[in-house]
Structure 1
Amino acid sequence: MQSAMLRSELVRIRRERSLTQEQVAEELEWSPSKLIRVEGGRSSVTKVDLDALLTLYGITSESQREKLHALNRGARAKSWWNEFKSESPPTYLNYVGYEAGAAFIRQFQSSVVPGLLQTREYSEAQTAAFLTEMKVGPVVSLRMRRQEELTKRSTPPRRYFVVDEAVIRRHVGKRRDPAIMPDQLRHIADLVEEDDRLTFRVIPFEAGEHAGLSGPFTLLEFEGGLSDMLYLDTGRDISMVMGEDPQVGKFAADFESLLEVALSAEESRELLLSAAEEMS
């Protein structure tokens, strides 16, 4: 996350100065490929090289220089999600890194409870349906850690979840323990009651077809000039798309259309509790 923000800032500043990569490389006596690697995230930035870039770009403000150096230190530090790199696809862990620094998370789910809202018991039952028992533990541990790390932030992100009614009607974990799903639904109801930065809304079956029927998606927004991100996970393929891609705008519009057919937050909470009671 810090690496992406640093690269975004360096590219923005260079373009504001109307400098090409070739001009910067020539001025600093670098090979053009070095700057391309730095701006593309394929090479880390040393303190000396960052100072050289900031001096060339005329950044004299000590506070701005320190902010960029702090981002660079963060980018070079080992991130907590690296603990899971042997069990998780690199693209997914890359997403987790961005999620950890997002200011606003919007997500639509069509079949399962959003990972950031899952109880451990629900997560274990849901994951065991498609993974061997040996692989369930690391997947669930990463999911729980994502929740934990977001709550540790001084300012947790705003989170807005929209789900199809099928998500709350499917009795996940019924054969393992019938209480798993009603407990999960009550857990969400409690979370939205306690956290004013969390919104959860349900699209009822009676709403008919909607834009979310094509599958789940997540939109991340950031502070500090980093472009919005779209994350798509079909279960077979994972992809991340940054703000310049028209897909980001398309899915943002889709999310707004889902809000038009979803129940209100209060109606959704009532439905959660009603469904929990029916399953109990």
Structure 2
Amino acid sequence: MGRRRLSHALKAAREAAGQTRGDVAAAMDWSLSKVIRIEAGTVGISTIDARALAALYGITAPDRVEELLSLARNSRLRTWWSTLRDRVNPSYYAYIGLEDESVEVLYFAPTTLPTLLQTRDYAARSTPPLPTGDRNTRIDVRLKRQEEILNKTRPPKIIAIIDEAVLHRIAQAHKQAPEQLSHLVSLSTAPHITIQVLPFSAGPPPVVAPFTILQFPDPADEDVMYVENAVSDEVIDRPEEVRPYLDMFRELRAKSLDPDESLAWIKQIVDDPG
């Protein structure tokens, strides 16, 4: 998130100064690719470079300079996922950092359970071999994310819409059903976790791919959507692309059972998986 804010701030400042990325590269004696990576948020910068860019863009107000310096410091902080940079793909690495900064996580799960709600056994069964990154690393990171996010002093609010078919599929796999469904029931009692079941009676959902939307405490930070499938994943932060999915999420939630009804339905499926 620190890099995301910094990249947005630097890009806006450059455009306000009427300079191109090529102009900046020449003035700073950098490669053009470095400027692109900084503005894409894939790398952080030092406070020395941040101060030099502020001067280049004509930013002299002390509070604005300090804001850029603070963002630069934050962009280089070490985190628990810092060691994963070379072990997971860039989209997933970016998502982990954004998820850690979020205040609300909205899941739509039409095929598998949301990753933060999975047991280790279910995570192992539901993680496909990926073209990039080690599968076992992916599973371990998923469980580490659960530990870090769910055990925060102030964890994000999680709203998960789970298609009824996902629950029946779990219940039919008898070995994992008791543990995973009991885990869901236990999580549903947490004040910051809301689980709602989209019943068959709601009809087919308008989308069959799972997606996650992250929301942040600062209104200036746009929502981010994460889409993952068997061959790739992507972090999308373009408002015009995220907004329709947010509207879709709200419609799906309105069609879902309320939390108490959903809990009762999960227990019923456990008792009668057929």
Assess same fold via TM > 0.5. Answer: yes
- Partner residue in 2 for 1:180: 176
Q: CA deviation at 1:256?
A: 1.3
* 2:114 is aligned with 1:114: yes
- Partner residue in 2 for 1:143: 142
Q: Which of 193, 204, 212 is matched with 1:209 structurally?
A: 204
Q: Structure 1 pair 124/39, CA: closer, same or farther in 2 (3 Å)?
A: closer
Q: CA deviation at 1:14?
A: 5.7
Aligned residue pairs: how many? 264
Aligned residue runs from structure 1 range 43-54, under 5 A = 43-54=43-54
Q: CA deviation at 1:43?
A: 5.0
Aligned residue runs from structure 1 range 121-136, under 5 A = 121-127=121-127, 130-131=128-129, 136=135
Aligned residue runs from structure 1 range 25-40, under 5 A = 29-30=27-28, 33=32, 36-40=36-40
| CA deviation vs aligned residue, 1:98-137 (integer Å, no higher than 9, x gap) | 222222211101111111001112222333xx449xx653
Q: Is the 8 A contact 2:6 2:41 kept in 1?
A: no
Distance in 1 (alpha carbons) for counterparts of 2:129 and 2:27: 52
Q: Structure 1 pair 183/164, CA: closer, same or farther in 2 (3 Å)?
A: same
* 2:236 is aligned with 1:241: yes
Q: Secondary structure at the match of 1:219?
A: strand
Return the TM-score normalized by structure 2: 0.82
The one-letter code matched in structure 1 to 2:217 is: E
Q: Is the 8 A contact 2:59 2:65 kept in 1?
A: no
| CA deviation vs aligned residue, 1:204-251 (integer Å, no higher than 9, x gap) | 011112223x3111111223322221221122232222134x221111
Q: CA deviation at 1:31?
A: 5.8
Q: Which of 240, 265, 268 is matched with 1:271 structurally?
A: 265
| Structure 1: segments with no counterpart, 5+ residues | none
Return the TM-score normalized by structure 1: 0.80
The one-letter code matched in structure 2 to 1:80 is: W
- Partner residue in 2 for 1:229: 224
Aligned residue runs from structure 1 range 156-175, under 5 A = 156-171=155-170, 174=173
Q: Structure 1 pair 43/139, CA: closer, same or farther in 2 (3 Å)?
A: closer
Distance in 2 (alpha carbons) for counterparts of 1:36 and 1:10: 11
- Partner residue in 2 for 1:98: 98
Distance in 1 (alpha carbons) for counterparts of 2:125 and 2:172: 5
| Structure 2: segments with no counterpart, 5+ residues | none
- Partner residue in 2 for 1:19: 17
Q: Is the 8 A contact 1:81 1:96 kept in 2?
A: yes
Distance in 2 (alpha carbons) for counterparts of 1:42 and 1:123: 28
The one-letter code matched in structure 2 to 1:226 is: D
| CA deviation vs aligned residue, 1:138-193 (integer Å, no higher than 9, x gap) | 2221111111111354422111111110111113793xxx3522221221222121
Q: Is the 8 A contact 2:45 2:75 kept in 1?
A: no
Q: Structure 1 pair 43/84, CA: closer, same or farther in 2 (3 Å)?
A: closer
Q: Is the 8 A contact 1:125 1:173 kept in 2?
A: no
Q: Is the 8 A contact 1:125 1:172 kept in 2?
A: no
The one-letter code matched in structure 1 to 2:109 is: Q
Q: Structure 1 pair 172/84, CA: closer, same or farther in 2 (3 Å)?
A: farther
Q: Structure 1 pair 116/9, CA: closer, same or farther in 2 (3 Å)?
A: same
Distance in 2 (alpha carbons) for counterparts of 1:247 and 1:12: 21
Q: Is the 8 A contact 1:183 1:276 kept in 2?
A: no
Q: Structure 1 pair 131/54, CA: closer, same or farther in 2 (3 Å)?
A: closer
Distance in 1 (alpha carbons) for counterparts of 2:113 and 2:27: 53
Q: CA deviation at 1:89?
A: 2.5
Aligned residue runs from structure 1 range 73-88, under 5 A = 73-88=73-88
